[in-house]
Amino acid sequence: MTTTETAPTYSGDIYTDAALLEPYEDYRALRELSPAVWLEKHGAYAVARYDEARAVLMDSDTFRSANGIALNEPANEAILGCTLASDGELHAHLRQVVAHRLTPRALRPMKDLVRERADELVAELVERKSFDAVADLARALPLSIVPDFIGWPQEGREHLLRWAGANFDSFGPMNERAQRAMPQCGEMAAFGAEVVRTGNVLPGSLGAGVLEARDKGEVTTEQTMMLMLDYLAPSLDTTISAVGSAIWLFSQHPDQWDLLREDPSLIPNAVNEIVRIESPIRAFGRLANVDTEIGGVPVPAGSRVLVIYASANRDERKFERPDEFDVTRRDAVHQLGFGLGDHGCAGQGLARMETESLLHALAQRVTRFHVGETERALNNLIRAFGTVQVTVDTED
Amino acid sequence: MKIEVDYKRCEGHGLCEDQAPDVFELDDEGDLIYQFEGQDVPAEHQTAAARGAAACPVAALRVVQ
Ligand code: HEM
Ligand code: SF4
């Protein structure tokens, strides 16, 4: 392809508190400008349109994840060698060691458990009428499922959410939030290393499987530590974000909730639509391996590239009425909120199962959500609510 | 139109089946069965097949021609 333009420059900081709270106007401006826009403040090319975001994700030979995921060097160094931040054969190998435990088939035995937990939780909350949809619902289900599934020992679990949040903050530019996060990422890594050293994981869990792989010589001890972090850090906050956003969205769009209640077979598509319109992970980076182009805009070797899933998912070039929440949207499944291709989210089967189970349980009981106080949880990477106070109406 | 399936890459997410149940099917083991392996996709199934291929979250399905 011939390269015709050079990338325009965007001088705004898209990681200030204000920008993180209301990101969508910045994203729209980036999409308007060009397929690739130089983010002066962050030293990276923003890829904000759908087609180009998809193309970058699909071309993992050119756009590398090792040293590429975060917008700052210390964080990239800290995660080098985990599945998320590796390439090529190493990546395929690491992914294969664990990901087969997360495929829909492997998760089938989990389905009843997740459904049951979701039902119990929702029944109790609906009884109470008023609750915090983040603390009491969105956090409660993943916390009752995922740490056991990964096999994390009981001691240390009280830190999981703080560590996971810090991990995602550290992937942004080296702003104050990232600086504050770095020591906590260190704590998490040290804890992961200790778990591997002592073999203190629940029997039969995903973590136990990783240790077995080490004992069989399939992965090194160091890789084992990275794999533990791989499945710990991204498995909670992401799903929590999606569920919190879901309740808020349905409270604002009661007509959409009615549709779901009338036809629960819409629930899987609704999960795609939630992840499309309020993408839990805003963006991840890549490193251009060779001189290349993005949508005709030249991008030199060694450039940092930022794939903004949350913007691609609202690209008016791809989605009709992109800012409208529509659970019947036919192409919602094309959303990129779980990534795509080689690094496409390995845990999406579990995330979908958790979110769908909660929506099922709620759809059986709740007719309306009335939202009171809400508060955003600011994070460089994750878009989420910290609080969504809600009161529910039921049929009787 | 043909579809190339990378069976090694397929993780059985089943999103292709949701979009195009006449074209893609997961068997009881969760393995993907593609109805038109090695053939052209019949005209009446092409739209659905393309939608299914685009839905695969790990890009195991590729439309060729
Ligand atoms: C709504 C919930 C979730 C969202 C929105 C989400 C989003 C993502 C995204 C965007 C990526 C792509 C990374 C890239 O392009 O470099 C990813 C990768 C990944 N996710 Fe998720 N995720 C979710 C839930 C989970 C859960 C529950 C787990 C684990 C149980 C998980 C584990 C992973 C892993 C291990 C990777 C790295 C895969 C690789 O590099 O091959 N995720 N996720
Ligand atoms: S959507 Fe992709 S991963 Fe899922 S069953 Fe179809 S081909 Fe396999």
User: pLDDT, tens digit, for every residue of B8-54?
Assistant: 888 888 888 888 999 999 888 778 999 999 899 999 999 999 989 98
Q: What is the pLDDT of residue A4?
A: 56
**C-alpha span between A124 and A40 (Å, rounded):** 50
Spell out which residues of chain B touch residue A103, defining contact as CB-CB under 8 Å.
11-13, 30
For A293, A331, B4, B65, the CA distances from B40, given in Å and listed in that order, are 33, 24, 11, 10
Give the largest CA-CA distance in chain B: 31
B2 lines ligand 2 (CB under 6 A): no
Q: What is the pLDDT of residue A350?
A: 93
Spell out which residues of chain A touch residue B24, defining contact as CB-CB under 8 Å.
none
User: Phi/psi of residue A388, each to 5°?
Assistant: -135, 95
Mention the CATH class of domain A9-394.
mainly alpha
Q: What is the pLDDT of residue A117?
A: 96
Residue A171's SS3 state is coil
**C-alpha span between A225 and A82 (Å, rounded):** 9
Q: What is the pLDDT of residue A1?
A: 47
Mark which residues 4-33 of B lie under 8 Å from A by CB: 11-15, 18-19, 29-30
Residue A287's SS3 state is strand
> Which tokens is A238 given?
């992401």
Determine the distance in angstroms separating the CA of A211 from the nearest CA of chain B, rounded to an integer: 22
**C-alpha span between A115 and A80 (Å, rounded):** 36
Query: Could you tell me the distance, in angstroms and rounded to a whole number, from the CA of residue A95 to the centre of ligand 1?
Result: 12
Sorted by sequence, the CB contacts under 8 Å of residue A244 that are 6+ apart come out as A133, A134, A137, A138, A384, A385, A388
What is the residue type of A113? Answer: L
- Asked if residue A318 lies in contact with residue A50, where contact means CB atoms within 8 angstroms, the answer is yes
Helices (H), chain A: 17-21, 24-33, 50-58, 73-79, 88-99, 104-128, 140-150, 160-170, 176-198, 206-215, 221-232, 237-252, 254-262, 267-277, 309-312, 348-365
Pairing of strands B2-5, B61-64: antiparallel
Give me the average pLDDT of each 10-residue run along chain A (396 residues).
74 97 97 98 98 96 97 94 94 87 84 96 97 97 92 88 94 96 92 90 92 93 88 89 98 98 96 98 98 97 98 98 97 94 92 97 98 96 97 91
ipTM: 0.79
* CB-CB neighbours of A262 under 10 Å: 9
Ligand closest to Cα of A278 equals 1
Domain B2-64 has CATH 3.30.70.20: yes
B33 lines ligand 2 (CB under 6 A): no
Residue nearest atom 16 of ligand 1, based on CA coordinates: A343
Lining ligand 1 with CB less than 6 A are A 57, 65, 83-84, 95, 102, 230-231, 234-235, 238-239, 242, 275, 280-281, 284, 309, 337-339, 343, 345-348, 350-351
